[in-house]
Structure 1
Amino acid sequence: MSTIHDLLQKMTLKEKISITSGFDTWRLKGFESLGIPKITVCDGPHGLRHQEEGQDHLGINESNPSTCFPPACLSAASFDEDLLFEMGQAIGFEALSQNVQVVLGPGVNIKRNPLCGRNFEYFSEDPVLAGKMAAGWIKGVQSMGVGTSLKHFALNSQELNRMKSDSITDEKAKFDIYLKAFEIPLKTAGPMTVMGSYNLVDGIYASENKWLIEEVLRNKFGFQGLLMTDWGAMNDKISSLMAGLDLEMPGSSGYFDEELEEAIKDGRLKEAYLDQAVIRILQLITTVTEERQKALASVGPLVKSSVDIEKHHGLAKKIAMESMILLKNDRKTLPVSENTDRAIYLVGALAKYPRYQGAGSSHINPYKVTSLLESLEKEALKMQYFEGYSLGSDEILDETEELIQTLKKDDVVIIAAGLPDSYESEGFDRKHMRLPENQNALIRSIGAKSDHVVVVLFGGSPVELPWLDNISSLLHAYLPGQAGGEAVTDLLLGRHNPSGKLPETYPLQYEDHITSPYYGKDPYLAPYLEGIYVGYRYFDKANRRVQFPFGHGLSYTTFSFSRLSINRSTIDFNEDKAVEVRFYVKNIGERAGKEVCQLYLARKGSPSYRVDKALKAFCKIKLEPGEEKEILMVLHEDEFKEYDLNQKKEVLYGGEYILYVGSSSQELPLSASLEIKSSVLDTFEAPAFYMDVKGAPEPEQFETLIGRKLPVMGPSKPFTVNHTLEEMKDVPQMKYLIRKLEGVLRKASGATSDNDDAYRVMHAMFMQTPIKRLSLVAPDKMPKHLGETLVHVANGRFLKGLQSALKRKSTIDHP
């Protein structure tokens, strides 16, 4: 291929404009005459969702089979960057085998609220954990010559009206929490691409936000790779190119091409902005083409069948086992002895019909799936199975009464419980934090009869546990991937020792969560009133009790922490390169096991807008019974820096700091004090809530914190292509048209009823996507003229609507 400069000089204006949008749903444009090949991208991040024909973004059509590894909600609980590297490497190999050049992942958006429908696809409420897990995954994928796409940049924490909601938070929360999760992998792993988010940030769409893209992503974080939109996220392509965005995805049949050409010719858009985008696109195509050739030279020619399916299935099982979390284990019910004389019962529809991944654009078509029932039936156990409850209704099955009547106190009952598919998905947020009531009632009834009830919990997000005192053991499997049944079996039977830790806080009830009064209440405005107090940072500062703290997880053995020391008690980073933290961990139990060592940092001093403590480092170690190891953790100056709202930059505050070491955010037996030499003091006077975190955050105090009034947002008229069908649905003349469109959607999804899980996902996305974006995502199903026809009809301009439908072209305002 010619040099990028030569290629740019050879391209016509139309060709340059054309290459800045995709060829179709999953491929970038190529120009054979110029020697520019098409390249393929596909969804991840816990496997490949690679579609070759009949392509779609929303998951209507089947993708090629691939390994379904545990999604981020579970793999984050491993606290193991090396394990994420292994996963990434395997996904990279499968991408090579399927001729995929870029895998669209990982997602590092912060779990701000437990109801976010896409939480299963994200790692954590903590930016250090999220960033480091992402970095491991990126390094693994790209080690195989395949690119990655860090997403969704930025402040995308809800699914409700995600293409029109405006995320607003203070600068300290942005840099200390939400952007930190991106900064870590950007600086340490070098993803080839970044994907923008759908939402607005401070009133400007993320895909055209010059401050976010140019000042933060390009200048502060040093990213010089390709920035693409999420699928259908383009709003104003002229503004996006000027802000530093490069690629619109998917192919939109030239929706913006004519407008761009006119803007360049009349001087509204300098051609240099277009050229910069084209250069980055050509750089990506060149890089992934060359890296693929290098990888193939190393591993040899590959085809789809080159993947060792069983080997990758084994890796999926390993990741699941290393990540599942033993939250409770009273009476030492677990592990269950394979030679026990006790009667064993397995209960729950989810044991037979496993939930192993989330729904939406990341949905993988796995090579195979093993259920818990299937796995346990292969064992030499005297076990009976009862389905117990319905996944499609609130029914408790009649057969369960027979079980409850025969149960004895010493019987072991393993209950598979969790969230059905219909409860959480991309495209909509959960309505509450509860399990289906039939499951809660069943667990309580069984818990009243047996002293040895084990609940295996499936789902992508925290749930309320009203029956926790009625059971002896709780194993959290989250969404465990295709080998989840085998992984749970080995943990229950003690063949593998649990070592996962919670990557998020489990509140006692949803109302305890700081964001519960306002999260998802306004479809247009998403004010982050809580500021920096996200997850454990809130519960710690407010001194509120939780069900299970961040970082919590039990083992079948016991570990002790001792002898914490630091290299200096006074640190001057002008002279000292780093703080070296040393301590010892010993396995004082009778089984080999792994422990996650966690290091937290607290800045002391008078009341200020700061958290009580924050995770700064972690590592996972394996210890044999009686074995002890010395652990070294190193903190550099950047780990001590915080954003200062007076100085508008990250600074190093001077004063006393405390280092805490332990096994969770609330189990920290070791501590040491040190002094940081710096003349910078924290003098920012925040409103009262942000100093002491008493009560609830109020909009007025938040406005004082951010220095401006919150905008008043809501539906507006007349309708434009930037409105959604959800906003138009109550207009009388639109009701019939929407019903017809729903029929087309139902047929396309293969659903037999409106309650079909796949249809509900599709319907939520369909109704909450602006008309313009529907035309970008599916120009064949919602061509530009049809979208404009719908807008005319919604506005009561029936003649214009008819003319648009007949002529297949029309001009209306695109504000």
Structure 2
Amino acid sequence: MSGSDPAGATADPERDERIEAAITRLDLDAKVRLLTGAAMFDLAPEPLIGLAQTRLSDGPTGVRGPDFAGGPVAALLPNATLIAQHWSRDTAYDAGVLLAEEAAAQGVHVLLGPTVNLHRTPLGGRLFEAFSEDPLLTGDLAVGYVRGVQHGGVAATPKHFLANESETDRTTVDSVVDERTLREVYLLPFEMVVAEAPPWAVMASYNRVNGTPATEHRRLVEGVLKGEWRFDGAVMSDWFATTSTAASATGGLDLVMPGPGGPWGARLVEAVRSGAVPEPVVDEHVRRLLRLAHRVGTFGPGRRQAVPAPEPGSPARRDALRRLAAGGMAVLVNRRGTLPLTVPSGAVALIGRHATETVAQGGGSAQVRPPHVVSVAEGLTAALGADLVRVVDGVEVRERPVAAAGLLHDPVDASPGIRVIARDAEGAVVESRHIDGTDLIAGYGDGWLADAATIELSAELALDQAAQVQIGVRGAGSWTVRAPGITETTTLASADGPGADILSPPAWAAETVAESGAQITATVTAGDWVRLLGLVARPAPRPPADAIAEAVEAARECDVAVVVVGLTQEQENEGGDKTTLALPGEQDVLVEAVAGAAERTVVVVNAATPVLMPWLERVDAVLWAGLPGQEAGAAVADALLGEVEPAGRLVTTFPARDGQGPAWSPVPVDGAVHYAEGPAVGYRGWDASGEEPLFWFGHGLGYAAWEYGAVEADTDGGVVRTVIVWLANTATHPGREVVQVYLRPPGGEPVRLIGWEAVTVAAQEETRVRVDCDPRTQRVWDPEGSRWTPLTGGEILIARGLGDIRARIPLEG
């Protein structure tokens, strides 16, 4: 097993002696200076004790580096839910190893991931970063991921501790969760990763937990994380999350991010001198920070050197990421053996905006700048040949305009991207730079915009012919925009919340007719707040009726129609939650129309989180493609054509309509989100309700056929230890199965996943599958006695998801 060697905490007397000696050499001001970031993603060096700068980077599916936009090119992995759909700790480990290589090559020492919050409600805007709705599956994958990252000498940072399952009002919301639910559900993934792959850092969340901010929650941080679990790493804040001085310093927080400002600094020095914070508390924070620095090679001997890694666009990286994406995709429906596709003579009609502008990643701090994104149109055309693929764009899927790839070129050097000119108050040029992209971040960084009074963005359009286009800008501020047929002055209001002007920048655009080479110039007033600024240029949207008519015509003329639908960063984005699971725009109407015209219809869903499927009974197959990363289209082609079996299993239960499920709204009421469903989160609550979802957690058909034979269980004191299953692949080709074991306890306790095992079986072969079951899921927390008691009795369910139970074993209570 590739993830079998823990990268855990070990005794290191020499390190500890070095740390204690360093602490004694630092005065109070110097110690406190180390406990707040020196910049947005850097920690301060201290030459006096031999401490070098330590660099952090956002993750969790790529290493972005210190720049939110325009930074280094980095490999873009499939999103966390797609990796999780492998149901494999080894796969998570391999993803962590790859990320560590990327981090080391960029000089990054600490990766801010994985996200181990749960999919409590399908409306959560940031679910694409988190593994699943189940605490055991999430914890197990987090163990593999953390081991992989730290095997490469890079610190992993599980986040966000704790009860951060929605984004609405995330900096002020109070997550109200009873003690039992906290212990059994939301703490369990963190407990597992601390026990089995001790991370070198943990990130505290923005929200309050039962009235106390997570950054100063002494009972959870000092009591549970550092006390009961003996976590010896550093606890850092989420960015701008810390609002107190003494309460956070004595509550267990070790590091405030970012810096150099913040609530510690001089105020913490004064709090120590006044007696509000004992100096040994500061020493303990420094001790943990230096322990982190020692582990990543920025403190002590053996300073880490830059490590060569495969280029993000190299064949080795591309092949690994392509298989990682394709293997995690899930076949949700496959009528008449439609998949894998065979196209002996006729053409495929490939339809939909997500086919031509495939979404590879979610929005927010997880975004990276990949070397490319292979669209589904490019991937399927490369696999079948241009003569066999007819591409039809489809309906508009966005409300806010963004730049289309390749349309903007720098007017100075004609390279793809834009020109940015900083001018002073008199209009003189302070600096002129090429930006390899369409956006930049103003307000922090190397300060090259610090002396600007205005910032000018300009580009030339690269068009095949004169066309109707949308031209505009993104970003808060007062803008003047000039382009052929457009002279506009507009003010875009700043958004609320930390980072909102980066995560969800306001936008404006207008339509005009333009020719290739036409110049766009947009000027905005400079400011000292952090915001994203960018240009918009894209083909003007067509009326939906015209797009649907073209799609129907293509569907009638081809052997099979593949419709690619999905979500965008408007729905799957940090800083906001969804209000519906419906596909945006007229995508449902498009699918219905195509299904009515095509001989066979396959729907590919390019989204990480559940969507409604009102057309489900009228299509032949559905492939859940997730957010597949930079090799997206090539991976989708592999899955559709059977080059790689899409053997993924869902990690979230899909409602059939809005409002269904044990938890729905992420919106606080009177400032609080009440976790009223208790431990019956996700499939657990669905099972208790007796209501049938659209698709169960754990569902996925793959391309093989499975028969389950004899089963037996081994128990110890009523706790299930192992389950043995005889499994046969009755298909004519090999396949991968995920044998899932659930416990349905007596007395109304919710059903829960207690173990699983993934196996690959040759055609017409059978095998004996041993599933090890985790006792941590077979216990109940007693809040009055503050202790665990075993959960015994009920029945064991051997299943392919709770919608397809293959065997039952009764248990004695």
- The TM-score range, normalised by the shorter chain, is 0.7 to 0.9
Return the match for 1:478 from 603, 618, 626.
626
Say if 2:650 and 2:699, in contact at 8 Å, map to a contact too: yes
Maintained 8 Å contact 2:51/2:298 = no
The answer for the alignment partner of 1:414 in structure 2 is 562
Give CA deviations for 1:590-624 in whole Å, capped at 9, x if unaligned: 111101111111212xx44x20x111111211111
Supply the AA of the counterpart residue of 1:438: E
> Partner residue of 2:139?
131
Whether the 8 Å contact between 1:264 and 1:271 is mirrored in structure 2 is yes
User: What CA distance in whole angstroms lies between the structure 1 residues aligned with 2:86 and 2:768?
Assistant: 21
Match of 2:102 among 67, 70, 94: 94
User: Is 284-293 or 65-74 further displaced after alignment?
Assistant: 284-293
For 2:787 and 2:349, how far apart are their aligned partners in 1?
Answer: 59
By how many angstroms is 1:310 displaced?
Answer: 2.2
Query: Residues 626 and 170 from structure 1, CA distance in 2 versus in 1: closer, same or farther, beyond 3 angstroms?
Result: same
**Equivalent residue, structure 1, for 2:316:** 311
Asked if 1:564 is matched to 2:711, the reply is: yes
Q: What is residue 758 of structure 2 aligned with on the other side?
A: 620
What is the aligned partner in structure 2 of residue 749 from structure 1?
none
Query: 1:39/1:488 Cα in 2 relative to 1: closer, same or farther (>3 Å)?
Result: same
Query: Structure 1's 440 and 525: CA in aligned 2 closer, same or farther, altered over 3 A?
Result: same
Residue 397 of structure 2 is aligned to residue 391 of structure 1: yes
Identical residues among aligned pairs (%): 30
Q: Does 1:590 align with 2:732?
A: yes
1:427 pairs with 2:575: yes
Which of 613, 630, 651 pairs up with 1:503? 651
User: Deviation of residue 29 (structure 1)?
Assistant: 1.0
Q: Which amino acid aligns with 2:91?
A: L
SS in 2 for 1:455: strand
Partner of 2:242: 234
For the structure 1 residues 437 and 100, does the alpha-carbon distance in structure 2 shift closer, same or farther, using more than 3 Å as the test?
closer
Instruction: State the shift of 1:662 in Å.
Output: 2.0
Give the equivalent residue in structure 1 for 2:178: 170
SS state at 1:594 partner: strand
Among 26, 39, 45, which residue is 1:24 paired with?
39
| Structure with more of its chain in strand, by fraction | 2
After TM superposition, the structure 1 stretch with the greater mean CA deviation from structure 2, 119-128 or 518-527, is 518-527
Deviation at 1:294, TM superposition (A): 6.8
CA distance in 1, matches of 2:702, 2:156: 34
Q: In structure 1, list runs of 5 or more residues that go unmatched.
A: 677-815
User: Contact (CA 8 Å) 1:88, 1:139: kept in 2 or not?
Assistant: yes
1:334 aligns with 2:339: yes
Match of 2:223 among 215, 224, 227: 215
- Alpha-carbon distance in structure 2 between the residues aligned to 1:366 and 1:350: 18
Which 5+ residue runs of structure 2 have no aligned equivalent? 1-14, 400-540
Q: CA deviation at 1:308?
A: 7.5
Contact 1:89/1:141 (<8 A) preserved: yes
Residue pair 1:564, 1:670 contacting (<8 A) in 2 also? yes
Q: SS where residue 361 of structure 2 aligns?
A: coil
Partner of 1:12: 27
Tell me: CA distance 1:400–1:603, structure 2 relative to 1, closer, same or farther (3 Å). Answer: closer
- Taking structure 1 as reference, are residues 295 and 92 closer, same or farther at Cα in structure 2, changes over 3 Å only? farther
Map of 2:799 onto structure 1:
662
**In structure 1, C-alpha distance between the alignment counterparts of 2:382 and 2:312, rounded to whole Å:** 26
The question of 1:379 aligning with 2:346 is answered no
Alignment of structure 1 residues 493-532 onto 2, 5 Å: 493-516=641-664, 518-522=665-669, 524-532=671-679
8 Å CA contact retained: 2:398, 2:584? no
Check whether the contact 1:161–1:523 (CA below 8 A) recurs between aligned residues.
no
1:380–1:434 distance in 2 versus 1, CA, 3 Å:
closer
Instruction: Assess if the C-alpha contact under 8 Å between 1:150 and 1:193 holds in 2.
Output: yes
Taking the TM superposition and a 5 Å limit, the aligned residue runs for 1:72-471 are 72-253=80-261, 255-289=263-297, 302-303=307-308, 309-339=314-344, 341-381=345-385, 382-392=388-398, 395-396=543-544, 398-405=546-553, 407-408=555-556, 411-471=559-619
Greater shift, 197-206 or 463-472, is seen at 463-472
Shift of residue 254, structure 1, vs aligned partner: 5.5
Distance 2:687 2:303 in 1: 47
Q: Is the 8 A contact 2:204 2:215 kept in 1?
A: yes
Q: Give 1:406 deviation, angstroms.
A: 5.8
Shift of 1:315: 1.4
Select which of 52, 56, 65 maps to 2:73. Answer: 65
The one-letter code of the counterpart of 1:386 is: V
Give distance in 2, aligned partners of 1:562 and 1:290. Answer: 55
Cross-structure match for 1:553? 700
Q: What amino acid does structure 2 have at the position aligned with 1:597? A: V
Distance 1:20 1:216, change over 3 A: same
What letter is aligned with 1:594? R
In structure 2, C-alpha distance between the alignment counterparts of 1:413 and 1:672, rounded to whole Å: 44
Shift of 1:255: 4.4
State the AA in 1 paired with 2:695: F
* 1:638 paired residue among 776, 779, 782: 776
Q: CA-to-partner distance for each residue in 1:531-563, whole Å, 9 max, x for gaps?
A: 112110111001001100110001222011111
For 1:291-347, what per-residue CA distance to the aligned partner results, in whole angstroms no more than 9, with x for missing partners? 998796xxx8625776683212211111111110100011221111142x3332000
Deviation at 1:409, TM superposition (A): 9.1
Q: Partner letter of residue 166 of structure 1? A: D
Paired residue total? 654
Query: Structure 1 residues 182-191 or 161-170, which shifts more?
Result: 182-191
Match of 2:63 in 1: 48
State whether residues 409 and 452 of structure 1, in contact with CA within 8 Å, keep that contact through their aligned partners in structure 2.
no
Instruction: Classify 1:313/1:232 alpha carbon distance in 2 versus 1 (closer, same or farther; 3 Å).
Output: same
User: Is residue 77–residue 630 contact of structure 2 (8 Å, CA) maintained in 1?
Assistant: yes
The one-letter code matched in structure 2 to 1:484 is A
Mark the CA change 1:149 to 1:117 in structure 2 (over 3 Å): closer, same or farther.
same
Instruction: Kindly state the Cα deviation for residue 259 of structure 1 after the two structures are TM-superposed.
Output: 1.7
Once structures 1 and 2 are overlaid, which stretch shifts more, 665-674 or 158-167? 665-674
For 1:47, give the aligned amino acid.
G
Contact 1:338 1:493 in 2 (8 A): no
Could you tell me which amino acid in structure 2 is paired with residue 507 of structure 1? P
CA contact (8 A) 2:294 2:300 kept: no
Residue 397 of structure 1: how far off its partner (Å): 5.9
Spell out, residue by residue over 1:117-137, the C-alpha distance to the aligned partner (whole angstroms, 9 max, x if none): 111111111001111111111
Structure 1 residue 258: Cα displacement: 2.1
Q: Are residues 285 and 470 of structure 1, via their aligned partners in 2, closer, same or farther at CA, if it must alter by over 3 Å?
A: same
Q: Determine which structure has the larger helix proportion and give its number.
A: 1
Identify the range of structure 1 (188-197 vs 414-423) with the bigger mean alpha-carbon deviation.
Answer: 414-423
In structure 2, the CA distance between the partners of 1:513 and 1:637, relative to structure 1 (3 Å rule), is closer
RMSD: 2.2
What's the TM-score once normalised by structure 2's chain length? 0.77
Q: Who is 1:702 aligned against?
A: none
Aligned to 1:542: 689
Write out aligned runs for 1:574-723 (5 A).
Answer: 579-604=721-746, 607-608=747-748, 610-611=749-750, 613-635=751-773, 637-653=775-791, 655-675=792-812
The AA in structure 1 aligned to 2:134 is D
Sort the Cα spacing of 1:12 and 1:506 in 2 relative to 1 into closer, same or farther, 3 A.
Answer: same
The alignment partner of 2:159 has SS state of: strand
- The whole-number CA distance in structure 2 between the counterparts of 1:368 and 1:662 is 39
Secondary structure in structure 1 of the residue aligned to 2:384: coil
Contact 2:738 2:800 in 1 (8 A): yes
1: CA distance, partners of 2:298 / 2:262: 29
